[in-house]
Amino acid sequence: MFYSLRRNEMRKQIIVFIILISSLSVFGQAGSGTKWVGTWAAAPQLVESGNMPPSPGLTNNSLRQVVRVSIGGDTIRLKLSNEFSSNSVTIKSVQIAASTGGSKIDTATNKELKFNGSSEVVINRGEAVTSDPILFTLTPRMDVAITIYYGQTSSTVTGHPGSRTTSYIISGNNTVVKDFTGAVTTDHWYNINSIEVIADSSTACVAVLGNSITDGRGSSTNMQNRWTDIFSESLLKDSTTDKVGVLNMGLGGNCVLAGGLGPTGVSRFDRDIINQAGVRWAIVFEGVNDIGGVKNSEASVRIANNLIDAYKQMIAKAHNKNIRIYGGTIMPFKGNSYYNQNSEECRNAVNKWIRTKGNFDACIDFDKIMRDPQDTAQLLLPAYQNDGLHPDAAGYKLMGESVDVNLFTGADTVYQQGNNTKPESFWFEAERFVKSGSNFNIVDDGLASNGKYITVKTGVQSLNAAPGDTLNLISLPFMVTNDTTFNVFARLNCPTYDDDSYWVKIDDGAFTMCNGLVTSGWAWMKLVSANLSKGNHKLIIGYREDGACMDKLCISNDAIIPTGMGGVDSVAVSVNSIEMIKGYSLKQNYPNPFNPATEICFTIPEQSYVSLKVYDTLGRVVSVLRSEEMHAGTYLQQWDAKNLASGVYFCCLESASFIDTKKLVLLR
């Protein structure tokens, strides 16, 4: 049984507990003078219905998937992800072998991968597992086949739809079969996430954050000719960069800020870039899906500023980990349905910032390389598909060869870290500040924080100025303890450009019209920034267009855009004059006992990577509630245990410097 203990005592008991039950993943460690470095990776997402595994499906069947690595090595490990599936996935066996083309393997090279010494592993929903290290001769740019024999799988699947590579499904357990003759084929990857090699200290990798252009739409299936493939080959040809791996973290349809397919660029930056093994460089080449289709000049300016703010976040995070980070300019797309003059102005503004010395560590000017000199708003002929947005194989070759390999030489960089300003983030449920008799409606919505959001009554607008009466203004008092810049973020649902704006001011300043806040479903958007002094302040918001929906507000001196439903409402925890957060804490869940849902409140005093997991009495993870970089703040986490049996469970909050647990009792 766990009880609240001092930090060191608790950590020791948990370590002993984990060793005794042998139920948590144990990862192999590289030896002295060596380290793990990524050689291949793909960004996971929830697989859409049109990209699901074809019949006969994955359950109790074998799947062979082919990937091409970048650098070589003699010791490898494989990571599998079940991050987005609704249920656990049982893996009965995993084999890896040299591919000899198509579905064929060199059986002499075939080796089984194990997990904590076992062939079988269950990947809980929301989690990933890494195999034990094995000796395997991996040569640079080698094609390897990963064959998985599945047990029970989830109805929803974690994968990477844009594989540009054929995978093979065959009934039953056929992991050691040389040729999957008669297999059902699909051009998608499922569950495979990354391959790492043990390498010497001079070896490193570059991780690329991108969208469908990086993911290779328009390249040739099974030819491995994305621009990152060409770039990898260029690195290997140069003796000064032949120990640099390339990780393609492109996601088709992905956006940096909000909407699109898969987790947004800002929300996956830690997972896909910062936390990759052996990463020394990063390339950010994403933004076209955010700016495509911008409808007016106000939205153009706002989205450009929001993208730049997002890039600044990424730069700060990379430098905090001593990673050099380069920006790729957004290529032209005239001729595509995305294009209009407002989008072009937005693209040019963003590219100007990317090119400005001192922002990114360097600029990779894809726009300059790929644009038509006679019409710089469109791609150079003929190196593009007929959609005007995506290059073809020749275009990707030009892109990959244009990247200067000299940017990827030298040892680790040590960056001077930022100031020690105490992080402050305040959260407010918008409906708590609506006055009786106002023009705001409070609407129930299960996807909104606290289950409610606000929207102005149909037909009520204030287009030219903020509402003149205080009844129709939302007023939020707050107190800050730092003299610094604070940002105001709002969780919004604004479906069109005719219902996407608010009036906003802080204290006695003038109202600012915040327009161009279109989202795809609920998403966090930045409204304004202000330099504030220590003391009491007031945020005032007025409606402008009907149809705009507001769920929650965040005031923070952190530039990182919030994700999910954010932190716990400051009013809900009786913090009217907000004070500094004094330390980590994990409070007892409420209600307890519970059936089937409960709330877990926890506090973190600084921006840090936080894990909040629930274990059963055997030490098995039954739910991952948080596993991410988080702002300082107090959070209220919902946990629904409807799929679990009655009994005792343990909730564990852990960061680099803190660990604590609470006992949870589920009574049905």
Angle at 606 between CA 209 and CA 561, to 5 degrees: 40
More confident call, 481 vs 330: 330
User: Is 417 a domain residue?
Assistant: no
Domain end among 347, 375, 408: 408
Cα dihedral 18, 22, 24, 26 sign: positive
Asked whether 518 and 497 are in contact (CB, 8 A), the reply is: yes
Q: What is the pLDDT of residue 576?
A: 31
Per-residue pLDDT averaged across 334-340, rounded?
Answer: 93
User: Is 439 a domain residue?
Assistant: yes
Residues 6 or more apart whose Cβ sits within 8 Å of residue 70:
39, 40, 140, 141, 205, 232, 235, 236, 244, 245, 246, 247
Predicted confidence band of residue 659 (pLDDT cuts 50, 70, 90): confident
My answer on whether 139 and 86 are in the same domain is: yes
Alpha-carbon span 227 to 217, nearest angstrom: 10
Per-residue pLDDT averaged across 17-46, rounded?
Answer: 65
More confident call, 28 vs 83: 83
User: Is 420 a domain residue?
Assistant: no
Task: Kindly state the tokens that stand for 466.
Answer: 């903020």
pLDDT single digits (tens) 257-305? 888 899 999 989 999 999 999 999 999 999 999 999 888 998 899 999 9
- DSSP label at residue 283: E
User: Is 2 a domain residue?
Assistant: no
Q: What is the pLDDT of residue 22?
A: 33
My answer on whether 620 and 524 are in the same domain is: no
User: Is 660 a domain residue?
Assistant: yes
pLDDT at 447 over 90: no
Alpha-carbon span 484 to 152, nearest angstrom: 53
More confident call, 215 vs 514: 215
pLDDT single digits (tens) 122-166? 999 999 999 999 999 999 999 999 999 999 999 999 999 999 999
SS (H, E, C) 475-517: EEEEEECCCEEEEEEEEEECCCCCCCCEEEEECCCCCEEECCC
Q: What is the pLDDT of residue 532?
A: 92
Query: Is the pTM for the entire model greater than 0.85?
Result: no
Q: What is the pLDDT of residue 6?
A: 46
My answer on whether 450 and 522 are in the same domain is: yes
Quote helix, strand, coil % in the chain, to nearest 5. Answer: 20, 40, 45
Q: What is the pLDDT of residue 452?
A: 92
Task: Kindly state the tokens that stand for 5.
Answer: 């203990």
Asked whether 248 and 42 are in contact (CB, 8 A), the reply is: yes
Instruction: For residue 158, give the CATH number of its domain.
Output: 2.60.120
- DSSP label at residue 311: H
Q: What is the pLDDT of residue 77?
A: 97
pLDDT single digits (tens) 307-327? 999 999 899 999 989 999 999
Burial of 109 (0-12, 13-18, 19+ CB in 10 A): middle
What separation in angstroms does the CA of 278 have from each of 143, 243, 324?
21, 11, 12
Q: What is the pLDDT of residue 233?
A: 98
User: Is 562 a domain residue?
Assistant: no
My answer on whether 343 and 209 are in the same domain is: yes
Identify the domain containing residue 209 by its residue range.
Answer: 202-408
pLDDT single digits (tens) 536-562? 899 999 999 999 999 999 999 887 778
> Strands across the sheet with 633-640, in order?
585-586, 597-604, 633-640
Q: What is the pLDDT of residue 104?
A: 96
Q: What is the pLDDT of residue 420?
A: 56
My answer on whether 14 and 40 are in the same domain is: no
Predicted confidence band of residue 21 (pLDDT cuts 50, 70, 90): very low
Q: What is the pLDDT of residue 340?
A: 95
- Specify the residue for token string 């005093």: 605
My answer on whether 182 and 244 are in the same domain is: no
Domain end among 408, 433, 453: 408
Q: What is the pLDDT of residue 558?
A: 81
Instruction: For residue 624, give the CATH number of its domain.
Output: 2.60.40.1930
If one counts every other C-beta atom within 10 angstroms of the C-beta of residue 459, the result is: 7
Residue 450, φ and ψ in degrees, nearest 5: 65, 5
Per-residue pLDDT averaged across 446-463, rounded?
Answer: 91
Task: Kindly state the tokens that stand for 524.
Answer: 């966090």
Predicted confidence band of residue 384 (pLDDT cuts 50, 70, 90): confident
pLDDT at 229 over 50: yes
For the chain, the average pLDDT equals: 88
The secondary structure of 544-588 as a DSSP string is -STT-EEEEEEEES--SPP-TT-S--TTTTT-SS-----S-EEPP
Instruction: For residue 505, give the CATH number of its domain.
Output: 2.60.120.260
Asked whether 302 and 514 are in contact (CB, 8 A), the reply is: yes
Task: Kindly state the tokens that stand for 612.
Answer: 């909040």
pLDDT single digits (tens) 233-253? 999 999 999 999 999 999 999
Exposed e or buried b per residue across 515-547, where buried means at least 16 C-beta atoms within 10 angstroms of its C-beta: bbbbbeebbbbbbbebebeeeebebbbbbbbbe
Predicted confidence band of residue 2 (pLDDT cuts 50, 70, 90): very low
Asked whether 159 and 191 are in contact (CB, 8 A), the reply is: yes
Residue among 645, 605, 611, 636 at smallest CA distance from 625: 611
pLDDT at 15 over 70: no
My answer on whether 435 and 327 are in the same domain is: no
My answer on whether 309 and 435 are in the same domain is: no
pLDDT at 615 over 50: yes
Q: What is the pLDDT of residue 216?
A: 96
My answer on whether 329 and 184 are in the same domain is: no
pLDDT at 415 over 90: no
Asked whether 649 and 573 are in contact (CB, 8 A), the reply is: no
User: Is 79 a domain residue?
Assistant: yes
Alpha-carbon span 364 to 354, nearest angstrom: 9
Query: What's the first-to-final CA gap in the chain, in angstroms?
Result: 21
Task: Kindly state the tokens that stand for 457.
Answer: 């009554």
Residue 117, Ramachandran bin (φ over 0: left; ψ between -120 and 50: alpha; else beta): left
Predicted confidence band of residue 378 (pLDDT cuts 50, 70, 90): very high
Q: Out of 480-489, 592-601, 654-663, which region has the weakest mean confidence (pLDDT)? A: 654-663
Asked whether 636 and 662 are in contact (CB, 8 A), the reply is: no
Cα dihedral 257, 395, 382, 330 sign: positive
Angle, in degrees to the nearest 10, between helices 227-237 and 393-402: 40
What separation in angstroms does the CA of 80 have from each of 95, 210, 606, 610?
13, 21, 31, 21
Task: Kindly state the tokens that stand for 507.
Answer: 């204290």
pLDDT at 491 over 60: yes
Predicted confidence band of residue 20 (pLDDT cuts 50, 70, 90): very low
pLDDT at 469 over 90: no
Per-residue pLDDT averaged across 208-220, rounded?
Answer: 97
Q: What is the pLDDT of residue 417?
A: 61
Helices first, then strands: H and E counts in the chain = 9, 40
Domain end among 199, 223, 239: 199
- DSSP label at residue 229: H
The secondary structure of 132-191 as a DSSP string is PPEEEEE-TT-EEEEEEEESS--SS-EEES---S-EEEEES--TT-SB-TT-EEES-EES
User: Is 451 a domain residue?
Assistant: yes
My answer on whether 225 and 330 are in the same domain is: yes
My answer on whether 172 and 42 are in the same domain is: yes
Q: What is the pLDDT of residue 256?
A: 94
Domain count, the chain: 4
Half-sphere exposure of residue 640, counting CA atoms within 13 Å on the CB side?
3
- Specify the residue for token string 């993911």: 215
Task: Kindly state the tokens that stand for 534.
Answer: 């220590």
What separation in angstroms does the CA of 258 have from each of 234, 287, 332, 522, 562?
34, 11, 21, 9, 11
Per-residue pLDDT averaged across 68-90, rounded?
Answer: 96
Q: What is the pLDDT of residue 287?
A: 97
My answer on whether 365 and 491 are in the same domain is: no
Asked whether 485 and 531 are in contact (CB, 8 A), the reply is: yes
More confident call, 381 vs 39: 39
Q: What percent of the chain has pLDDT over 70?
A: 92
What separation in angstroms does the CA of 168 have from each of 98, 111, 188, 348, 632?
15, 19, 10, 43, 46
Give me Rg for the CA atoms of the chain.
26
Asked whether 212 and 252 are in contact (CB, 8 A), the reply is: yes
Alpha-carbon span 186 to 43, nearest angstrom: 18
DSSP, collapsed to helix, strand or coil, labels residue 130 as strand
